[in-house]
Structure 1
């Protein structure tokens, strides 16, 4: 086997490993006909699947045409279609404010209790400005793994 063939096999194996670790999350707008002021480019969830009892980070990459000085994130979580949890966060606690025109990231970390049931969840997030005007609304799914973290043992 030549050095080139060995390198190619290694590169392909590495690519396949990385692509399974960094899976893209499908994001959908709540209303496809709405022209939201904040456009969401993607959501990264680390780790994926989320581990019970361990920190999980949701990073939302977005873009805006207008400066945002304040606002709220309203989050609703469903499990097998049943609404199970709601929470509201100050936008400026999850990103730097004021949000300038252009690209920005909203990042939220949370530890899910060890008793959280494993399975498929869906999350709906609305971003509101300081006057409660809806800037964007997205939906996406995420998984909570069957294995607990070491902290649960």
Structure 2
């Protein structure tokens, strides 16, 4: 997994860190991704978009309601977004770039 952030883009949410539990990820087992985040704006709705690439090839994407993954409205300041799911049996090795 690679978390890619465009340093020149203007994002409403800034991801400050990622915690993966358990780590390392086990194929076929549940994993939780917790994203320590920050915003300068109140957020009442939004989307959490997950894009998965492997060696540059897009292999999976999914979209979730942000308010299903954290408490809305999100207040100005620090907040946590946590997403859990069972990893497929073909899960590739994981590395993170923030």
Aligned length: 97
Kindly indicate which of the two structures has a greater share of residues assigned to strand.
1
The separation in 1 between residues aligned to 2:61 and 2:4, in whole angstroms, is 19
Q: Which residue of 1 aligns with 2:82?
A: 107
The separation in 2 between residues aligned to 1:102 and 1:55, in whole angstroms, is 29
Is 2:40 the counterpart of 1:65? yes
Q: Offset at 1:35?
A: 3.0
> Which consecutive unaligned segments of at least 5 residues does structure 2 have?
none
TM-score (norm 1): 0.57
Over the residues paired in the alignment, what is the CA RMSD in angstroms?
A: 2.1
Higher relative contact order (CA 8 A, sep 6+): 2
Return closer, same or farther for 1:68/1:54 CA change in 2, 3 Å cut-off.
same
Give 1 or 2 for the bigger CA radius of gyration: 1
Of 96, 107, 119, which residue of structure 1 is paired with 2:71?
96
> Which consecutive unaligned segments of at least 5 residues does structure 1 have?
1-25, 122-139, 142-153
